């Protein structure tokens, strides 16, 4: 079969199983779980793989699931990946009443699309026509959240890295994967010119910080002069951070967005223990390090101003995402075939957000496209699934068609992608240089 026929068959198989794919996405949307806790979601993936007759590994990095499908030949291994976890948005309609977890970032659609590719490959008969393998991955803990919980998992030796893809790298689960394709749901307001899809682009990396101001308690009404107000120190530190913003260059896409997580203990006691968490994001490691040094200096200045102490704990985050342009071109062409060229943008430019896909992009070719299908605001309680076709079916087809492009004709395109890719570092360098910061 030629490429066009292979794509037609795989899309027809996805259409035939659209109800199962949509049902999975909707079920996960209504049962959100936080990172490294996605036990129910992982079980749903396992159930789907069981129905499809796929052999798989589960419990990877606590909750991850992986199924490797053998093609007619095994020249290349292409991974199709979806993320299992949710965020905290307790007012969202289907938020977990206990944890506040909610799928306000659309990871439910990623899992549905990944499984949708499995349906397409299984029921089209296409897999044996391909000259490479396809690995379906449900991966935990993309959102950088619940840091205290994950830090405890580290102390217990259950994980080494806070991010799921980072942990998969460390465990060697990507060792035989040559490239990764993914989909991310978005809301129409985040796409330019009324577009329906974008084929990818770069994302900021970041580092995290836990800041503690230590002051001295005293009676807030009767003897405040005997205390050292850690909250005042924090406020001055935050003002000093803001005073540095004009030094951040546009080309570096710096974002600094702190929150006060503890402002004191009692209103009648001078605050002596105040906590701040923040990210410092940027489009390159050098830019992140430069901004990070300025932020540290600013926070410490707040303590110096009132005679408090300042402790800063650095928490390495995620590396910037560098999309593979060859993969991006293939995904773009498939979005165009499905949605019309006038509705598709090739590149979304630099995104201010971050993802641990950046760590993987330093080692191998990756791409993450985006389609509309959600409504509201990402990471907000008003986020919802507005278009099930776009969210679950179009995304499944675009990824499946890209897999066909990569692995048909003797896996010519995949071999070209692999040959032309230049890694930023080796896995060994990554674990040595990035891992030592964890």
Residue-wise pLDDT for 227-261, tens only, equals 999 999 999 999 999 999 999 999 999 999 999 99
Please tell me the distance from the alpha carbon of residue 417 to that of residue 412, in angstroms, as a whole number: 9
**Terminal-to-terminal C-alpha distance of the chain:** 49
Q: What is the pLDDT of residue 147?
A: 86
| Host H or E run for residue 334 | helix 325-339
Question: Cα angle at 85 between 186 and 360, to 5 degrees?
Answer: 80
Q: Contact, 239 vs 258, CB < 8 A?
A: no
User: 3-203+321-437 has which fold?
Assistant: Aminopeptidase (3.40.630)
User: Residue 252 is inside which H or E element, if any?
Assistant: none
**How do 197-198 and 179-185 pair as beta strands?**
unpaired
Residue 160: the pLDDT is 93
Q: Residue 437 CB: number of other CB atoms within 10 A?
A: 10
Q: What pLDDT does 434 receive?
A: 73
How many Å apart are CA 128 and CA 70, to the nearest integer?
A: 8
* Residue 436 confidence (pLDDT): 62
Q: What's the DSSP call for residue 129?
A: G
Structure tokens at 260: 């006060």
Structure tokens at 84: 């299992």
Q: Which residues pair with 228 in a beta bridge?
A: 216
Phi, psi angles (nearest 5°) of residue 217:
-70, 150
Question: How many Å apart are CA 418 and CA 326, to the nearest integer?
Answer: 10
Q: Enumerate the domain spans of the chain.
A: 3-203+321-437, 205-316
Measured from the Cβ of residue 61, the count of other Cβ atoms closer than 10 Å reads 23
Q: What does the pLDDT read at residue 394?
A: 98
Q: What is the pLDDT of residue 437?
A: 61
Residues of the chain with pLDDT below 70 are: 190, 192-193, 435-438
Token pair for residue 81? 């990946």
Angstrom distance (rounded) from CA 6 to CA 120: 10
CATH T-level assignment (fold) for domain 205-316:
Alpha-Beta Plaits (3.30.70)
User: Which residue matches tokens 């101003």?
Assistant: 305
The greatest distance separating any two alpha carbons of the chain, rounded to the nearest whole angstrom, comes to: 85
Q: What are the residues facing 278 on neighbouring strands?
A: 209
Under 8 Å between Cβ of 143 and 35:
yes
Which of these, 414, 419, 201, lies nearest to 322 by C-alpha position? Answer: 201
Task: Please name the helix (run of DSSP H) or strand (run of DSSP E) that holds residue 20, with its range, or none.
Answer: helix 18-29
Does residue 86 contact residue 185 with C-beta atoms inside 8 Å?
no
- Where are the extended beta strands (E) located within 162-242? 179-185, 197-198, 205-214
Its pTM stands at 0.90
């Amino acid at each position: 079969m030629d490429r066009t026929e292979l794509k037609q068959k795989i899309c027809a198989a996805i259409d035939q199983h659209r109800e199962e794919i949509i049902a999975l996405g909707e079920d996960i949307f209504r049962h959100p779980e936080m990172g490294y806790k996605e036990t129910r979601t992982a079980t749903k993936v396992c159930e789907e793989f069981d129905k499809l007759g796929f052999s798989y590994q589960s419990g990877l990095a606590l909750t991850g699931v992986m199924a490797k499908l053998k093609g007619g030949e095994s020249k290349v291994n292409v991974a199709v990946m979806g993320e299992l976890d949710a965020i905290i948005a307790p007012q969202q309609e289907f938020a977990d009443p206990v944890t506040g977890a909610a799928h306000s970032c659309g990871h439910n659609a990623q899992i549905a699309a990944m499984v949708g590719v499995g349906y397409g490959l299984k029921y089209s008969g296409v897999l044996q026509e391909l000259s490479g393998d396809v690995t379906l991955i449900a991966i935990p803990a993309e959102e950088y959240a619940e840091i205290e919980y994950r830090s405890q998992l580290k102390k217990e030796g259950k994980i080494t890295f806070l991010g799921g893809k980072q942990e998969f790298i460390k465990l060697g689960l990507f060792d035989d994967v040559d490239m990764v394709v993914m989909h991310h749901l978005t809301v129409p307001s985040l796409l330019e010119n009324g577009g329906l899809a974008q084929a990818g682009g770069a994302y900021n990396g970041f580092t995290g910080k836990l800041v503690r101001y230590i002051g001295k308690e005293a009676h807030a009404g009767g003897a405040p002069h005997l205390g050292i107000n850690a909250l005042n120190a924090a406020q001055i530190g935050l003002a000093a951070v803001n005073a540095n913003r004009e030094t951040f260059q546009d080309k570096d896409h710096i974002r600094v967005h702190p929150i006060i997580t503890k402002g004191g203990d009692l209103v009648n006691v001078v605050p002596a223990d105040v906590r701040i968490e923040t990210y410092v994001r940027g489009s390159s490691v050098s830019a992140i390090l430069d901004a990070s040094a300025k932020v540290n200096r600013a926070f410490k200045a707040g303590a110096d101003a009132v005679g408090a102490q300042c402790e800063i704990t650095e928490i390495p985050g995620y590396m910037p995402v560098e999309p593979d342009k060859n993969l991006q071109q293939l995904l773009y062409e498939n979005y165009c075939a499905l949605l019309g060229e006038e509705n598709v943008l090739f590149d979304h430019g630099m995104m201010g957000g971050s993802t641990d896909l950046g760590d993987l992009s330093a080692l191998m070719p990756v791409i993450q496209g985006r389609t509309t299908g959600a409504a509201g605001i990402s990471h907000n309680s008003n986020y919802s699934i507005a278009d099930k076709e776009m969210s679950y079916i179009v995304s499944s087809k675009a990824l499946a068609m890209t897999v066909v492009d990569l692995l048909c004709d003797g896996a010519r395109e995949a071999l070209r992608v692999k040959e032309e890719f230049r890694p930023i570092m080796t896995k060994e360098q990554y674990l040595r240089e990035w891992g030592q910061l964890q």
